[in-house]
Structure formats: C-alpha cells, structure tokens
Amino acid sequence: MRSLIRPLVRALHPYVPGEQPKIRGLIKLNTNENPYPPSPKVLAAITRAVDVRLRLYPNPTSQRLRERLARLHRCRPEQVFIGNGSDECLALAVRAFVEPVSAARRGAADPRATVQYFRPSYSLYPVLADTHGAARNEVPLAPDFSLPGVAALRRGRAWRFDAALTLVTTPNAPSGRGYTRADLDALCRAQRGVVLLDEAYADFADEHALPLALEHAHVLVARTFSKSYSLCFQRVGYVIGHPTLIAALDAIRDSYNVNGLGQVAAEATLADLPYYRAHIATIVRTREALGRTLATIGFEVLPSQTNFLLVRPPVLAARTWLERLRDRRILVRWFDTPELRDALRITVGTDREAAALVRAARQILRDARRSVPATPVRRATRGRARR
Ligand SMILES: *Cc1c(COP(=O)(O)O)cnc(C)c1O
C-alpha cells in the first residue's frame, strides 16, 4: 500500500505534539497551554451559540473577527487574515510564498524554493517545508539563543537574504528568549522575500513587533488565541500584514477554514481583554518567581519572555529529569536535538503548580544525591554539543 503514497509524504517526519494524556491529577507543563480558563463571558458566548445554527456554514471570511482585530491593531480588515490556529496560517504562508523544489530550476539552492528559519525555533517549520516540497535553510541562533545581527549573518554566509520565506519565532520558542523590535526591524529590512514573525508568545513579552507588519509590505506578524487567550481547543490564529499578501493567503485557504464556535469564542475574547491581561500578568509574575526558585536549587534558568522556561537541570541528565518528574505526575517537555538535549522546557502554570514542581525537583535532587553520594555535579552533555 505504501507505494500508493507520494514519495515526499512517505519520507515525512510528522510534527510531534506534546502528550495530551487523560490521567487524573497530572500537572501538565509540557505544551504551553494557559493554566487559567477562558473568561466566563467567552464560555457563555460559546454556550449561547450552540443551537440549531450548528447546521449552517459559518461566516467564510470570519468578517466580524477581522473587523475587531483591525480595530485592536489599528489597521484595516483587509490587513487581517484569520486561520484555523496560527499553525494553519504558517502552512498557508509556505504554500503562498514558496515554490516547491521540483518546480524550481536550480533545485535546493533556489531562493524561491527556500523556507528559512533559525535553530532552534518552532519545530513545526521543517515539517511545513518538507510537506510542501520546499528546501529548508536552518541557521543556528547564537549559543545563548539571541538573534544574530545582520552583519554576523552576512559574515556567516549560510543565511539567505533572498529566501522566499523567513520564519522567526519571536519571542523564541523553545528558549523563551525575547528579541527587540529594533533588531527584528534590521533583519526585516535586510530580507528581500517575505518575513513572517511568529508572535505566539508576544503577550507575555515586554516588547512586540506588530508595527513592523504595518510598516513593511513584506513583513507579516502571526498571532494566536491559543496561548495567552486560553483557547487552544478552538483553533483560532491570525496574520497581520499588507493587503496583497493577506489576499494571497485568502486565495488558497479552505472556504470555511475557521469553525463558527471558534469565531464566536475569539470575538468574545476581544470583548473581555482586561480579564486576560490580568492572567497574563499573573503568569509573568509566576514565571519570574519560579525561575528564581529553580536557580537557587541549582537549575540554570534562561531568561524568558514567554509562558515557559527553558532550564538546564543539575546532577541528572535532562532526559532522566523528564522521567523522574513524570513519575511524580508532572509533565514537562524534552527535545532530543543537539542544542536542547541538556534542557527541559517547563510551561509556567499556576502558583500551586509551580510549587508542586519545585517540591518534586527538591525530592528528585535529594534522592539522586543519596543514591550516588560521591558523584560530582554532572554537566557532561552541556554546551559541548552546541556549535
Ligand atoms: C503554539 C504555537 C503556534 C501555534 O498556535 P496555534 O494557534 O494553536 O496553531 C505557533 N507558533 C508557535 C511558536 C507556537 O508556540
């Protein structure tokens, strides 16, 4: 049967999402979901919308939501695209702006067929490039995950200033590192293809770069209702940018790409922003406090502008920490790549969840030190693998 499948699809390594287990009492800090519920007004709006109207198609352009987002971001509705999660927005951007390699004359080196991004960043990007049959250009971030400057990128020669599409996760995931608007502006100005700034975590950051999508015709900013607006389940994301690029995304999307309840939920969310801003502020406070506490018990904690922390744990290998925390019913995320193998990504939950994590970490450390009392602090895998 496999011969019936396109070779490109047969060879794909699909995206690996974080676990969504159904175990009770589990503390889930592995997929960057918001620990706080949607606002009561949003839940009421969804409930009100569940009636005989479910038999009707939803608004095909999510028009009201576009208008509300245009008002929020001080632009026109023609500068707003709504997608089935920002994942769909990213996939459509690849399809709208990048040629498949087979259609390009100079093969993998053709900038028109190139999706470009930094490593590490959102692990969906390579999957999107491969699915489309595009080439990928992966360029390492600095060792501390900061953004290389334009001059350094020119010197490094690996970066393509003519790539058809450049995807920048900002703030970065999975490191949590924030980037300034000025640095992103300089990068955008140097690029000749489309630049999409993936701002899934921007609401948790001190600074965002949305104005760049309104200033530069080739820059898009993608946002999502999933993380800061507690709406992963409903799948709503959006893109802000020049009307011509937005129209290109509209031209290739499914006719009813955003489900009706998702549209209702997102509109109600925008009508209750103070509720969300309060929770976002709480998450930022919890993040800072958790980072300080983990540092005092020996974790190396990277600065974060998101709702998660990337940490390098002490004494045991990161993978062992993943398992020991799981034994204590706490789920975190570990990535088996050279840059991240020595680290854990921990979603910032509630204060109670953070306290439970710290308690578990202290126990794990105590047990580890008791079982191998003479072992010096193991940092063997650290840093070396990164170049
Ligand atoms: C979560 C996430 C997304 C996807 O968000 P959805 O709207 O749920 O599809 C996109 N980009 C990054 C960097 C993310 O972390």
* Residue extents of the structural domains in the chain: 21-35+274-386, 40-271
Q: 224: Cβ below 6 Å to ligand 1?
A: yes
Q: Is 91 in the pocket of ligand 1 (CB under 6 A)?
A: no
Helix (H, G, I), strand (E, B) or coil at 220: strand
**pLDDT value at residue 160:** 97
Per the prediction, the chain carries an average pLDDT of 93
The answer to whether the CB of 122 is under 6 A from ligand 1 is: yes
Cβ neighbours around 160 below 10 Å, total: 19
Question: Which of helix, strand or coil describes residue 176?
Answer: coil
Q: Is the model's pLDDT at 106 over the cut of 60?
A: no
**Ligand 1 site, residue 85, Cβ cutoff 6 A:** yes
Give the distance, in angstroms, between the CA of residue 214 and the centroid of all CA atoms in the same chain: 22
Average pLDDT over residues 309-326: 97
* Number of CB atoms found within 10 A of residue 111's CB: 20
113 CB-side CA count, 13 A: 17
CA of 327 to the centre of ligand 1 (A): 28
Instruction: For residue 210, give both structure tokens.
Output: 């949305």
Structure tokens that stand for 360 in this block: 């578990």
Q: Is the pLDDT reported for residue 358 higher than 70?
A: yes
Q: Is the minimum distance from the CB of 204 to ligand 1 under 6 angstroms?
A: no
Given this model, what pLDDT does residue 377 score? 53
**From the CB of 200, is ligand 1 less than 6 Å away?**
yes
Q: What is the mean pLDDT of residues 129-139?
A: 96
Distance 228 CA to ligand 1 centre (A): 11
Q: Which CATH number fits domain 21-35+274-386: 3.40.50.261, 3.90.1150.10, 3.40.640.10, 3.20.20.80?
A: 3.90.1150.10
Evaluate whether 335 touches 345 at the Cβ level (below 8 Å): yes
Q: Which stretches does DSSP call E strand in 183-291?
A: 194-198, 219-224, 237-240
Q: Would you say domain 40-271 falls under CATH 3.40.718.10?
A: no
Q: Is 198 in the pocket of ligand 1 (CB under 6 A)?
A: yes
**Which DSSP letter does residue 96 get?**
H
pLDDT digits (tens, 9 = 90+) for 222-231: 999 999 999 9
Task: Report the pLDDT averaged over residues 150-165.
Answer: 96
Residue 375 has pLDDT above 80, yes or no: no
Tell how far the Cα of 272 is from the centroid of ligand 1, in angstroms: 22
**Under 8 Å between Cβ of 287 and 311:** no
Distance 200 CA to ligand 1 centre (A): 5
pLDDT of 103 > 60? The answer is: no
